[in-house]
Amino acid sequence: MPRVDPRILMEKNRHAWVGGMNPDVPMCEVGPMGPPFNSLIHRDDDTGETAFWAPGEHAAPEEPVFVPKSADAAEGE
C-alpha cells in the first residue's frame, strides 16, 4: 500500500513510501498471515535512490501514513 505526500495526490510526485522486505534486516516472528514487513522503503523518483528504514528486530511497519512536517513544507518533508 504505497503512500505519497497527500498534498500532491493526483499530481506527479517525487517521493513514495511503502512497507516491504529488506533481506539484510532480521524480521519478526512469522505469524498466521505470513511474514510481516521488516522495513519502510522510501523511493526518490528524481534521483532513483531507494532507502530502507527498519524499526527494530521486534517491530514491523505495516501500513505507513505520511504526515507533512507543515502545510507549506516541501514534498516529502
Contact by Cβ (8 Å): 37, 66: no
The number of domains in the chain is 1
User: Closest Cα partner for 55 from 33, 30, 22?
Assistant: 22
pLDDT digits (tens, 9 = 90+) for 36-45: 788 889 999 9
Average of per-residue pLDDT across 17-43: 79
Asked whether residue 22 is domain-assigned, the answer is yes
Q: Cell numbers for 20, please give them.
A: 516491504
Average of per-residue pLDDT across 1-27: 83
Contact by Cβ (8 Å): 62, 32: no
Asked whether residue 63 is domain-assigned, the answer is no
Average of per-residue pLDDT across 49-65: 84
Domain boundaries, position 29:
6-53
Asked whether residue 24 is domain-assigned, the answer is yes
- When pLDDT is cut at 50, 70 and 90, the band that residue 55 belongs to is confident
Asked whether residue 66 is domain-assigned, the answer is no
